[in-house]
Amino acid sequence: MGTTDFAVFLIDDDPSVLKALTRLLQTAGYKTKTFSSSEAFLDEHDPSVPGCAVLDLTMPGLDGLELQQKLANKATRRPIVFLTGHGSVPVSVRAMKAGAVDFLLKPVKRVDLLEAVGRAAALDKVARWADEERRSVYAVLEKLTAREREVLTHVIAGRLNKQIAADLGTVEKTIKVHRSRMMAKMGVRTVAALVRLTQKVSLEPYRTANLFGPKANSTDHVNRAQISAHADSDRGR
């Protein structure tokens, strides 16, 4: 059943529908919050609160699809369950393509609604957990020195210490030191674990296509910029 801090945001222009859905979801232990229009929902929207939105498609002002669009523009990943009296195939396809969790027809059965809301809750939870994980990876990456980060991209590209040393124009011993410090900071013992970790933040490995000689520290710049950008956007959520 629902987690303690997870909320279902109900948006419908019909007060009696809002009231009934609230009652229904409460029997399943969900917390709910109701809004009579898309605008009212957007005004109060806090992305940090875990929850999903159950939207009516036809509403005065912004309709359901427009609200979905607005949320996407804000890069806020709020799972949406559509609830409509008359859904056509094109409309439902549009909604699903835009990332809706489900597209339910009114009047909705309890099992269907709870199943969809449950799925939305799971998605929200997974997304938040992934976010959390990503944030922790970024936090560790932030702690690395520039050289250690450089070595990391080479390591996850599967290169040997000797090759790395040649690429970076230093001796193998130095690379070994950087490498062991980096592994310690990242909290991993094996290269495999390191790769899994960096994949969570989609960190690009050093490009081995660079066969015709070393490039100046350009890759390093790119990666640094990439990482900080990710970190910023994740913090912004």
Distance from chain centroid for Cα 163: 35
Q: Is residue 40 a contact residue for another protein (CB under 8 A)?
A: no
Residue 86 interacting with another protein (CB under 8 A): yes
Q: Which of 3, 17, 99, 123 binds another protein (CB under 8 A)?
A: 17
- Taking CB under 8 A as the criterion, the residue among 3, 20, 118, 176 binding another protein is 20
Task: Calculate the alpha carbon distances from 112 to 28, 51, 82, 119, 219 in Å.
Answer: 13, 18, 12, 10, 50
Minimum distance from residue 5 beta carbon to another protein (Å): 22
Binding mask 113-132 for another protein (x = CB under 8 A): x-------------------
Looking at the Cβ atoms of 94 and 106, the one nearer to another protein is: 106
Q: How far apart are CA 68 and CA 226, in angstroms?
A: 28
- Binding region for another protein (CB under 8 A) out of 42-50, 69-77, 103-111, 142-150: 103-111
Distance CA 137, CA 177 (A): 21
Residues 124 and 186: their CA atoms lie apart, in Å, by 27
Identify the CA nearest to 142 among candidates 237, 229, 48, 236.
Answer: 229
Q: Is residue 24 at the binding interface for another protein, with CB under 8 A as the rule? A: yes
Which residues, 126 to 185, sit near another protein by CB under 8 A?
none
Residues 6+ away with beta carbon under 8 Å from 200: 130, 133, 134, 137
- Angle at Cα 123 formed by Cα 186 and Cα 99, nearest 5°? 115
Q: d(Cα 68, Cα 95) in Å, to the nearest integer?
A: 8
First vs last C-alpha separation in the chain: 26
44, 74, 93, 110: which one binds another protein (CB under 8 A): 110
User: Which of 40, 44, 58, 233 is in the footprint of another protein by CB under 8 A?
Assistant: 58
Decide: is 196 part of the binding site for another protein (CB under 8 A): no
Instruction: Specify the residue, 63 or 150, whose C-beta has the smaller distance to another protein.
Output: 63
Residues lying near another protein in the complex (CB under 8 A) are found at 13-14, 16-17, 19-21, 23-24, 26-28, 58-61, 63, 83, 85-86, 106-110, 113
